[in-house]
Structure 1
């Protein structure tokens, strides 16, 4: 392979997009929340009136009978089951299920927004904890 000559006196750093596409690799990731471990913070912290607990509407038996695959076994599973049932009942006329599809899409969107807010909240709590530890030194 050897040395590759680049035109106009450019170096490999000139054409590397890594600094634009992967800026998070250079940052301290200790303050980033992980989705693989439980949060060490109290879920009610910062909510004086409390929080509404999220509840799964579709039961495990319903999801098993609907043969849902793991990506669809979330808080919107009941909407997905309704949508699939509508598709099955209105076989050639899928446009009749646009309302169910829309409600499922809204549920997925709201769920993703809620998860992003939780991630940001935990990130800010981690940053605050780190800042307070640094100030106490």
Structure 2
């Protein structure tokens, strides 16, 4: 079984405010979203310019989702017992 995703905030709420991260994206992957938005703004939102940053952010989002699914399943198993 894969190791659980490390759910720890890497940036503070002040840093997210300064970077103008939308409220719905202020999660455990915000530290990947900030460089992605910076890259996009510097490159006029050209989709092929920020592939590495986008991939990192999407991978973080996916791992966070998988971790939440694992937590839910383990919670359901313990509720049945």
- 1:89: which partner in 2? 42
Which of 38, 51, 69 aligns to 2:22? It is 69
Asked if 1:116 corresponds to 2:73, the answer is no
Let me know the Cα RMSD of the aligned residues: 1.8
Unaligned runs of 5+ in 1: 1-50, 129-137
Q: Offset at 1:86?
A: 0.4
Count of equivalent residues: 78
- 1:7: which partner in 2? none
Q: Offset at 1:54?
A: 2.7
- Secondary structure class of the residue paired with 2:21: coil
TM-score after normalising by structure 1 = 0.52
- 2:32: which partner in 1? 79
CA distance, structure 2, for counterparts of residue 76 and residue 106 of structure 1:
9
CA distance, structure 1, for counterparts of residue 57 and residue 37 of structure 2:
11
CA distance, structure 1, for counterparts of residue 49 and residue 61 of structure 2:
20
Say if 1:63 and 1:124 are closer, same or farther in 2 by CA, change over 3 A: same
Q: Offset at 1:90?
A: 1.2
CA distance, structure 1, for counterparts of residue 69 and residue 32 of structure 2:
21
Q: Offset at 1:83?
A: 0.4
Q: How does 1:1-137 map to 2 (within 5 A)?
A: 54-91=7-44, 93-128=46-81
